[in-house]
Chain A
Amino acid sequence: MSETLPDRSSEAQRLHRELEAVWGNPTGWRALTVVNHSTLGLRFMATGLVFFLLGGVLAMLVRAQLALPDHDFMSPDIYSQVTTMHGTVMMFLFAIPMLEGLAIYLIPKMIGARDLVCPRLTAFGYWCYLFGGIILFASLLLEMAPDSGWFMYTPLSSGEFSPGLGSDFWLLGITFVEISALSAGVELTVSILRTRSPGMALHRMPLFAWYILAMALMIVVGFPPLILGSVLLELERAAGMPFFAVEGGGDPVLWQHLFWLFGHPEVYIIFLPAAGIVSTLIPVFAGRPIVGYGWVVAAILITGFISFGLWVHHMFTVGIPQLAQAFFSAASMLVAVPTAIQVFVWMATLWLGRPRMTLPMLWILGFLVIFVCGGLTGVMLALVPFNWQVHDTHFVVAHLHYVLVGGMLFPLLAGLYYWLPLVSGRLPSERLGRLGFWLTFLGFNLTFLIMHVTGLLGMPRRVYTYDAGLGWEPYNLVSSVGGFMMAAGIATVLLDLALHARFGRPSPRNPWGADTLEWSLAMPPASYNFASLPRVETRHPLWDNPRLGAEIARGEHALAGSTHGRRELIGSEALTGRVRDIIHLPTSSWWPLAAALMLAVVCISLLMRLYPLALAAFMAAGVLLLRWSWENGGHPLAAPLGHDEPVDPPLHSRTQDGPGRWTMGVALLADGAFFLSLLFGWFYLWAVSPRWQMPASSPLSLALLLGAGTLLLVAVGWLERRLRALDAGEDAGLAAALYGIAALGGLHLLLAVVMLWQAGLAPTASAQDAVLLVGLLYVLLHGGLVSLLTVLQARRATLGYVSARLPLEPRVVALLWRYQLGSYWILAAATGLLPRVIGGGP
C-alpha cells in the first residue's frame, strides 16, 4: 500500500503500522478470505462494470438488429434471449450490485466507521453475486438463455411454453444474486443506524447515508416478493404446482403482482443512491451547505414508501377495475412531488452558491436534463388512458432508459469521477473526460429521444423486426446510430479511467474541497480507514475543521491504534449518535466463500435436476453458515471474557442490544416481507383467481393446528422468562432451560409435520394445496431453524459463551422465536381457521 497519510509524523506512522497489522488484507490465496469493506466494495464495482459492458454489448446487438427493417442479423429466438438478458443483466447484475458496491465502499468512510458491522456478510454477499452472475450469464454462452423478457411473465415463462432451461437459469440465478442484495441491505441498514461517529445524530448524518438507508430498507422489503415469485415459479416448472396456471386454480396475473411489487420499488432502489450522489456533489461544487436538508430527508422517505404503492401502473392493461387503476395512477403521480422537491432543492443550492463547472458536475447536468425529461414522461405514463396507448411500445422503452440511464448511470459516473481521486490518489484527464461525456450524452439522446417517436408511431417493444413502410425505418436507424455513439462515449470514459491509473496527475488532498469524512482519509484509504475515531457534531466536519484528517491520523481521537489485536469500532445510538458500546468485528474468514460455493452447488444441481444433490448441498450450506456463526460473541476466536474489559462503554457482546440483534431484526423484516407476499398470494388467488377451488373444509386438522401453536406459545413464554432472569443476572440452569425450550420447539415441529402428513395435500392438482404446502414448509423450516439455534445456544451456555455477562445471543434468537410464533399463528388463522369460518369458494 502506498497511501499518503494525512500526517507523516512518527506517531501517525506507528499507529498506521499497528492498525495495518490488525486490519490489513491477507495476500495470495488467502485474498479469497478478505472481509474488508473497501476491498469488497471495489470488487463489487469492478464485477458490476464487467457485467455493464456485457449488457452493453447485448444492447448493441439489439440496435444492430433493429437498425433496418426485416433485418436478419439475428434469429428470433436469439434476439429474444439477447433482449431478455440485456434487461436482466443491466438491472440485476449491474445497477443494483454497482450501487451496493459504492455504498459498501463509502458508507463506513462517511459515517466514521472502520468497517461495516457484518464484515463476513459483505464477503458472502459478494460471492453470491459473483457466482449467481456467472451462472446466469453462462446460459447465454450455452445458448440456453432465458427468452421470456426480463419480467418473465407466466405462462410464457412456464414449463409448457418455455420447456428449456432458460427460465430456470433466470429464476435460480436471480434468486442467488438477490441473496447478495439482501445481505448488503441488512448490513448497510444496521451499520448506518448503529456505527456512526459519536455525536453524529440522525440530523447531522450526511444525506448520502440517508439515501443509502432508504435504499437498504427498500431492498430488505422489496426483494422478498420477487424471491417468493421465483421460488413459486420454479416449483411450478420443476414440480408442476400450478401457482400461475389457470387450469389448476392459479393465476398468471399473480406473477405480475409479485414481480412488480418488487419491480417498481427496484426503480427507486436504483434511483435513490444515485440521487444521493447528486445531493452529495451539488453542495460541494456550489460551495455551500444544501438548502432544505430536512426537506430532502422527507423526500427520500416519501419516495421510499410511495414507490411500493405504484406497482400496478405496470399492469394498467391487465384488466383491473378502473377505479383501482385510478388509485395507482394517482399514487404514481404523487411520486412526482418528492422528486420535484429534490430537483428544486438542488436548484436552490446552486442558485445560492457559487457553482464550479467540473467534470463531475458535467455529468450531474447531464443527469438533470435526462432525468427531468424521463420524470415528465413518467408522469404522462401514470395517466391511465395515455398509458393504454403507449404501454409496451418503444415509448416506454425510451422512458425507462431516460429514467434509468439518466437517473442512475449519469450520477454514477459523476460519482465515479468525484471519488476516483480518493480511491486511486490520481486525477482523471479533463479533456478525455469531457469528450466521453459529450459522446455519451448526445448518443444517448439521439437513441432514446427519437425512440419516443417510434413508440408513438405504434412500434411495440420486443419485436425482433418490423416491416418496411410503417414509417418506423428512419427513427430506428437514427436510434441505432445514436446507440453506437453512446457506446463510443462509454469506451472513452473507460479509456480515461484506465489511463488515469497509470498517467493521472497525483491528486492533492481533498481535491474538491468537500465536507464529508471520507476526504479526511489517506488517499487511497488505509484498510482501517480511521486511525482514531473522531467526534462529529456537524453536518460538515471538514469545512468546520480542515485539519481533522491530520488529527485522526495522529490518533488524537477515540480508539487510536489497536492494543489487543482485534478489529474494533464504536457502536452508537441510532437517534443521537451517543456512544453505546465497543464493537469487535471478525477478521478474514473462509466461511463466506465456502457457504456461497455450497449455495452455487445447490443452484447448479437444481438446474441439472439433481434434487438429492441439491438437498445435500443445501444442508451442507446450512452447516457451514452455522459453523460461521459459532465464532461469535464470547468464542475464543471472537472476544472471550477477560478480566480487564472495558465497561464504559462495554463490548457489544456484553450488552443486551448489540448490533447482532439489530441485524436479526432487519433480516426478519425481509423474512416478514416474504411471508406477507405469500399471504398476499393466498388471499389474491382466493379472491380473484378464475378457477380457484377451496374445499368445503380446511384439510388441516384443527387439533394439531392448535396443538402445535400452543406448544410454540409455551416455548416462547419459557424463553421470555429466562431472558428476564438473565437481565437480573441469574444464569443458573440456563443451558438446561434452553435445551428444554428447544425440545418444545422440536415437539411443535413434530405436530406440524404430522398435520402436513395427515392433510393429504395434492399440490400438483390444485393451487390451493400448493400454496398451503409452501406455507407449511415455510413454518416448518423456521421452526427447525429456531430449535436448532436454541440447541446451539444451550451448548454455548455450557461452554460459557452465553451467560449473565454475555446475554446478547439468546436475545437475538428470541427475536426469531417471536417471529415464528407470529408467523405460525397468522398462517394458521389464514389457512386453517378463516376458511372454516367463512367457508371456501371463490
Chain B
Amino acid sequence: MGVKPAVLLSLLLAGCTGEHSILDPAGPAARDVAWLWWGMLSAFSLVFLGVVGTWLAAFRRREHPERSPSEERRLALRWILGGGILLPGVTILLLLAFGVPAGQRLLPLPLPGGESPRTIEVVGHQWWWEVRYPDEAGEVVTANQLAMPAGEPVDFHVTGGDVIHAFWVPRLGGKIDMLPGRVNRIRLEADDPGVFGAQCAEFCGAQHARMHLHVEAMAPEEFEAWLAARRSPPAQAEGHDVARETFVEHCARCHRVEGLSDGREGPDLSDIGSRATLGAGVMAMEEGAIARWLAEHQRLKPGNHMPAHDQLDTEALEAIGAWLETLRP
C-alpha cells in the first residue's frame, strides 16, 4: 500500500486479470467491491503517505521554533483532534455510507417484479462439490461443475455435507460459508457468458487446495438446454457391459449414475463425460483421463476419500474409464 507505489502499480497492471481475480469483475456484486477497493486504495495511500511523511519530516527538521507550553498544548490538541478523531471519524462514516448499499446487492431480497430468481443448491464435501438444480420438471444433479444463466440474478443455497467449506466465485462476488446443518443464501449475477474459476475458501482439511469448481455462465436459452439435456438419463452407449457390471459391483455404493445406481457418498457421475475437469480440478478431462485418475487418484490427490482400487486390474479400470467418458447428455 503505497510503500513502493511504482513497484506495486506495475505488478498490478501486469496482473489484474486471472480466472480468480477479484480485480477482474464479471458481475455487479464483484464490480462494486472492485470499485470499493480502488477507492479505498487511493484514499488510504494518501493517508499513509501523509502520516509517514510527517513522521519522517519530524526527524529531518533542523529548526525548532521556541514555543510556550500553552502553544505546544494547543498544537498537540489540534493534531490529536484532527488526526486522531476527525480523520478516522470522517473516513469510517464515508466507508459505512458506501459499504452498506454495496452489501445490500448481495441480499436475497425479493426482485422488483415480485418473482424470485432461479435457485441453485451447492453442497460442499471433502473435497468435491455437489450441485443441484431443483425444478418442478425434475431435479438435475451434477458435481464439480456449475452452469448458470448469465445476465440474471441467481440465488445460491449452500450447505456443508461434512465440515465447513466456503462457496466463492471471485469474479462474480463475495463468498459465503457452507455450514453443516444450515443453509446460507447468496445472490450472484454474471454479466455475460463465460467461464470462471472457483475454489473452496474455508480450510476444510488436507485437500482444501484441490477443491475447484468449474463455473460456466451461459446465455439463458443455452442454459435451459443444458438443464433439459440432463433431465433424461444419459444415452446408453453400445458395448461397455462389462464395465457397467464392474461399476455396479465396485463403485455403485458411493456413486450415482442416473438409471443405474444411487450411491450418494461420492460425486454423481451421470454427466461426467461432459465435465471439463476431474477430481475437482486435479486434471483436465481428456481421453484416458478417467482411467488414469482411477489408477492413481491417491497419488494425484493424496488423502481423498475414494479408496484405492488395487483389487481391480488396469484393464478393468480402463474399461470403466472408457465407459464413463461416454456418459454425457
Contacts and interface: CB of A to CB of B under 8 A. Distances in A.
Q: Which of B8, B92, B126, B203 has the most CB of A within 10 A?
A: B203
Contact of B95 (A379, A445, A466): A379
B226 interface: no
Contacts of A464: 206, 208-209
B206 to A, nearest CB: 4
A77 B3 contact: no
Contact of B102 (A247, A357, A385): A385
Contact of B52 (A156, A340, A372, A387): A372
A453 B8 CA distance: 9
Interface residues of A, number: 93
A664 interface: no
A774 interface: no
Interface string A329-342: 11001101101111
A457 B15 contact: yes
A161 B29 CA distance: 34
Interface in A672-702: 690-691
B3 to A, nearest CB: 6
Given A153-B203, A389-B33, A471-B15, A76 B303 contact: yes
Given A326-B100, A470-B197, A690-B181, A458 B20 contact: yes
A453 B207 CA distance: 24
A155 B1 contact: no
A766 interface: no
B205 A453 contact: no
A252 interface: yes
Tell me whether chain A's interface is mostly helix, strand or loop, or mixed: helix
A442 to B, nearest CB: 10
Contacts of A670: none
B84 A343 contact: yes
A386 interface: yes
A321 to B, nearest CB: 10
Contact of A384 (B20, B103, B126): B103
A463 B199 CA distance: 10
A377 B1 contact: yes
Contacts of A351: 54, 58, 61, 75, 79
A449 interface: yes
Nearest to B15: A471
B12 interface: yes
A322 B199 CA distance: 24
B229 interface: no
B44 to A, nearest CB: 4
A156 B95 contact: no
A822 B145 CA distance: 57
Given A389-B33, A452-B1, A458-B18, A156 B201 contact: no
Interface in B82-104: 82-85, 87-89, 91-92, 95-96, 98-100, 102-104
Interface in A188-233: none
A100 interface: no
B88 to A, nearest CB: 4
A351 B72 CA distance: 10
Contacts of B4: 445, 449
A388 B105 CA distance: 13
A460 B40 contact: no
Interface string B180-207: 1110110000000000010111111111
Interface in B153-198: 162-164, 166, 168, 170, 173-177, 179-182, 184-185, 197
Contacts of A466: 209
B303 A340 contact: no
Contact of A456 (B21, B87, B164, B208): B21
Contacts of B180: 155, 246, 252
Given A246-B181, A292-B80, A347-B79, A337 B88 contact: yes
A768 interface: no
Contact of A369 (B15, B52, B181, B199): B52
A368 B21 contact: no
Given A291-B73, A318-B177, A386-B40, A80 B163 contact: no
A343 B8 contact: no
Contacts of B44: 376, 379-380
A461 to B, nearest CB: 7
B245 interface: no
B324 interface: no
Contacts of B170: 389, 458
A790 interface: no
B179 A253 contact: yes
A336 B91 contact: yes
Interface string A342-359: 111101111110110100
Q: Which of A292, A354, A376, A474 has the most CB of B within 10 A?
A: A376
B58 A317 contact: no
Contacts of B104: 322
A503 interface: no
B68 to A, nearest CB: 12
Interface string A456-479: 111111111111001110110000
A392 B303 contact: no
A311 to B, nearest CB: 16
Q: Which of B19, B80, B182 has the most CB of A within 10 A?
A: B80
Nearest to B199: A460
A814 to B, nearest CB: 44
B23 A456 contact: yes
Given A373-B48, A458-B21, A458-B22, A153 B164 contact: yes
Contacts of B209: 76, 463-466
B141 interface: no
Given A77-B303, A449-B1, A470 B20 contact: yes
B176 A386 contact: no
B32 interface: yes
A365 B209 CA distance: 38
A75 B302 contact: yes
Interface in A101-133: none
Given A75-B302, A253-B179, A390 B80 contact: no
Nearest to A388: B174
A383 B36 contact: yes
Contacts of A459: 20
A648 to B, nearest CB: 39
Interface string B18-59: 111111000001101100110010001001100110111011
A331 to B, nearest CB: 10
Interface string B128-147: 00000000000000000000
A165 B67 CA distance: 66
A291 B58 contact: no
Q: Which of B84, B200, B201 has the most CB of A within 10 A?
A: B84
B19 A470 contact: yes
B102 to A, nearest CB: 4
B76 interface: yes
A155 B51 contact: no
Given A292-B77, A389-B33, A457 B173 contact: no
A200 to B, nearest CB: 23
A336 B94 CA distance: 14
A449 B55 contact: no
A421 interface: no
B20 A457 contact: yes
A596 interface: no
Q: Closest 8 interchain pairs by CB?
A: A388-B174, A458-B20, A246-B181, A341-B84, A463-B209, A344-B83, A291-B76, A319-B184
23 contacts: A76-B302, A76-B303, A161-B205, A251-B181, A291-B80, A317-B166, A326-B103, A336-B88, A343-B51, A347-B79, A351-B61, A352-B75, A369-B3, A385-B36, A388-B106, A389-B30, A445-B4, A457-B20, A458-B20, A458-B197, A458-B199, A462-B203, A463-B208
Given A377-B1, A383-B98, 18 more contacts: A153-B202, A156-B164, A156-B203, A246-B180, A292-B80, A295-B80, A336-B91, A339-B88, A352-B75, A376-B1, A383-B99, A458-B197, A460-B168, A462-B208, A464-B208, A464-B209, A470-B197, A472-B18
